[in-house]
Structure 1
Amino acid sequence: MAKLSIEDLKRIKEREMARMSLREGEHRAKIVVHMGTCGIAAGARKVMEAFLEAVSESGARDVVVTQSGCAGLCNREPMATVEIVEKAPIKYVDLNPEKAKRIFQEHIQGGHVVEEYALGRGSESTAG
Structure 2
Amino acid sequence: MGKITIEDLKKIKEKTAGIVSQREGKATVTIRVHMGECGIAAGSRDVMTALLEARAEAHRSDIMIVAAGCVEKCRNEPMITIEEKEKATVQYGNLNPEKARQIFTGHILDGRVQENFLMSGD
* Contact 1:82/1:91 (8 A) holds in 2: yes
Cα distance in structure 2, aligned partners of 1:101 and 1:23: 21
Change (3 A) 1:86 1:17: same
Name stretches of at least 5 consecutive residues in structure 2 with no aligned partner: none
CA-CA distance at 1:19 after TM superposition: 5.1
* Contact 1:22/1:52 (8 A) holds in 2: no
Residues 53-72 of structure 1 mapped to structure 2, 5 A cutoff: 53-72=53-72
* Contact 1:21/1:64 (8 A) holds in 2: no
* TM-score between both structures, scaled by the size of structure 2: 0.87
Q: Residue 18 of structure 1 corresponds to which residue in structure 2?
A: 17
1:119 match: secondary structure: strand
CA RMSD across the alignment: 2.0
* Contact 2:18/2:63 (8 A) holds in 1: no
* Contact 2:35/2:69 (8 A) holds in 1: yes
- Give % identity: 40
Amino acid at match of 1:16: K
2:94 match: secondary structure: coil
Name stretches of at least 5 consecutive residues in structure 1 with no aligned partner: 123-128
Cα distance in structure 1, aligned partners of 2:58 and 2:65: 13
* Contact 1:22/1:65 (8 A) holds in 2: no
Cα distance in structure 2, aligned partners of 1:78 and 1:23: 24
Q: Residue 41 of structure 1 corresponds to which residue in structure 2?
A: 41
CA-CA distance at 1:67 after TM superposition: 1.3
Judging by fraction of residues, say which structure has more helix: 2
Q: Residue 99 of structure 1 corresponds to which residue in structure 2?
A: 99
Amino acid at match of 2:72: G
Q: Residue 126 of structure 1 corresponds to which residue in structure 2?
A: none
Point out 4+ residue stretches in structure 1 off by more than 6 angstroms: none
